[in-house]
Structures are given as C-alpha cells and as structure tokens.
C-alpha cells in the first residue's frame, strides 16, 4: 500500500463515511476507490471520467 498526501473534499469524505459505516478516513478513501474502479464499464476506459465534472 502506498502512502500518499492528498487534499480531500471534507463534505464528500464525511458523507462517504456516514453512508458506508467505515470508521477511518483511510478506509473511506479505499472504499471509494474500489467502488469507482469496480463499477467502471468498458467504455469508461475509452472515454475517461474527468475529475472536474465531479464537483458537487
């Protein structure tokens, strides 16, 4: 596992933790990464999702 310093959206992190029931920020980030990567469809690899579109 890699150690990475990142800036997180506090509200998105709080909501992810509340919805999922995980207790640590690390678990919430890992869960979100696993969820995102396992729910990607083949066409997502051809037309990648751009993070700028993810702002709420």
pLDDT in tens, 9-44: 999 999 999 999 999 999 999 999 999 888 877 777
Q: Which domain holds residue 35?
A: 7-42
Enter the tokens of residue 56.
């709420």
**Domain tally for the chain?**
1
* C-alpha distance across the termini of the chain, in Å: 29
Residue 30 located in a structural domain: yes
All residues at 6 or more sequence positions from 48 whose CB lies less than 8 Å from its CB, including other chains:
none
CA angle 43, 9, 34 (to 5 degrees): 40
Residue 53 located in a structural domain: no
Residue 36 located in a structural domain: yes
How many CB atoms are located within 10 Å of the residue 28 CB? 22
Residue 50 located in a structural domain: no
pLDDT for 3 equals 87
Distance between CA atoms of 29 and 20, rounded to whole angstroms?
Answer: 11
Residue 33 located in a structural domain: yes
pLDDT for 7 equals 93
């Amino acid at each position: 596992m890699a150690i990475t310093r990142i800036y997180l959206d506090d509200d998105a992190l709080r909501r992810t933790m509340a919805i999922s029931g995980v207790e640590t920020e690390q678990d919430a980030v890992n869960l979100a990464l696993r969820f995102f990567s396992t729910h990607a469809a083949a066409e997502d690899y051809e037309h990648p999702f751009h993070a700028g579109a993810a702002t709420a």
